[in-house]
Every structure is written in structure tokens, then in C-alpha cells.
Amino acid sequence: MMKALVLGDVHADISHIKFAQRKAKENHCEYIIQLGDFGYFPQTDWGQAFLKECSSLCIAGVPIFFIDGNHDDHWSLSQEGGIFKVREGIYHLQRGYSWLLGRRKCLALGGAYSIDRNSRVLGVSYWEEETIKYRDLELASRAEEVDFLFTHDCPLESPLEDYIPLFDCNHTISNRRCLDIAVSNANPRMVIHGHYHLRYSLEVPTQNGRSRSYTGLDCNKNRNSSWLVIEG
């Protein structure tokens, strides 16, 4: 049996990485899967400082594998559907990458739309590449059936609106619709996402008579609700 710690948005908060490493050690986790808005900004001094310190913590502790959110520098990331080492101990899980945690199949599919784009600057604080593209879905569909799907945004199938009102924005809805397509292709038993900075967990019935569990994790601002341990 293998365990991994799943962690919500970090927003380049190094104290949150320290917290997650502590929890990973206490719970005997082999590695951390981070759900996007990791804080990957290698073009800035503060981003470099974060990555440097984070790398030291991961070398001393366990590695971190992050998917991209909307608050990550997409121009410094590529999306080939694989896994990419950004620093020692820190890896980017590109959209559509699948792997095994013990005997359980996992699939990564990052990306979300920044609803506050008007107050952001292209290439500095938002990137066109932040949303899921057709090619990402095509890469993800190669995984076929999986146990765990890790996303930044939340599929529309999730009961998220039981907790917060729907973001009535066409771009958000179309990104979430892309995730619905990925869900119907991969038929995961569990979907875990970040982005909404909200902790919830609910099962929903699916068309094939099975149920699917949805879990949203909170962010660095609400540490105790920002993580969970999964077993493979």
C-alpha cells in the first residue's frame, strides 16, 4: 500500500509547504500531490526564492508533484502530457499525465479560468494557457479508466453549487464542461480539486449506477482543511 498527501492551493506560501511536509511525514506519505495555484513564478525574484526553499524542503522531506492552476506561470510550463522536473524534488504533472499510486490509477488535469482577469496583466498575472484546451482532453483521454482524477477547477457534475453559488461566467463554465468530458472518459471513483478555496466532500450517483466522490480542498489560508491522505 502506498500513501500520498493531496494538498490544495499553496499560492507560493512557503509556510504551507512546511506544514504539508510535516503532515506527509506524520502520515507516512511517499509524496505530495498539489492541486494547482502552487505558485510557480520562476520569472520573479520572489518566485525563485519560493522554489529554492521549497526544493530544499522536498529534498529533506518528500517530493511534490503539482498540477497547474490559474495562478502559475504557464509560459514557463509546457503541456506535453508528461511529467517535468522544475527543481530538485519538485515536478509538474502536465495535463493528461497518468500514473499509478500503488495499484490505483491517477490522472492529472490542471487549469482554470481567472474570473478577475480584468484586474490582471497578460503574461504577468494571467495566461491564456490557463484554461483547458482540446489537446489536453485528448491527452487525458488516453488514460482511459482511472481511480483518482486530480484537477484544479471543478467539473460541473460536482455538487459544488450546494456550497457556493455558480460562477455565472461563460469561460468558467466552458472550462468546467471540459472537465465533465474528462470525467465521462476516465470515469474516476474520486475527483479531488482546488481553486475554490473550499473544503467539501460529497458522493454523487453516476449514469452507470456507480457513485463518484467529489472533494474540494481549501488553500494555504485555511491550512487544516487543505489536505487529505489517499491510499493506493
Question: Which residues contact Fe ion by CB under 5 A?
Answer: 9, 37, 69-70, 112, 195
Instruction: Indicate if the alpha-carbon torsion angle 102, 103, 109, 115 is positive or negative.
Output: negative
E strand or H helix at 191: strand 190-193
Q: Which of residues 5 and 112 has its CB atom nearest to Fe ion in the complex?
A: 112
Q: Which of residues 36 and 96 has its CB atom nearest to Fe ion in the complex?
A: 36
Task: Report the distance separating Cα 106 and Cα 4, nearest Å.
Answer: 11
CB 42 within 8 A of CB 84: no
Shortest Cβ distance from residue 232 to Fe ion (Å)? 26
Find residue 88's DSSP bridge partners.
none
E strand or H helix at 91: strand 90-93
Shortest Cβ distance from residue 98 to Fe ion (Å)? 22
Q: Which of residues 70 and 175 has its CB atom nearest to Fe ion in the complex?
A: 70
Q: Which of residues 147 and 218 has its CB atom nearest to Fe ion in the complex?
A: 218
Shortest Cβ distance from residue 7 to Fe ion (Å)? 12
Shortest Cβ distance from residue 50 to Fe ion (Å)? 15
Distances in Å between the Cα of 64 and the Cα atoms of 36, 58, 89, 180 are: 11, 7, 6, 26
Place of cell 490542471: 110
Residue 83 identity (one-letter amino acid): I
Shortest Cβ distance from residue 104 to Fe ion (Å)? 25
Q: Which of residues 70 and 98 has its CB atom nearest to Fe ion in the complex?
A: 70
Q: Which of residues 185 and 216 has its CB atom nearest to Fe ion in the complex?
A: 216
CB 93 within 8 A of CB 136: no
Q: Which of 13, 55, 16, 14 is nearest to 226 (CA)?
A: 16
E strand or H helix at 140: helix 134-141
The set of cell numbers assigned to 219 is 488553500
Shortest Cβ distance from residue 149 to Fe ion (Å)? 17
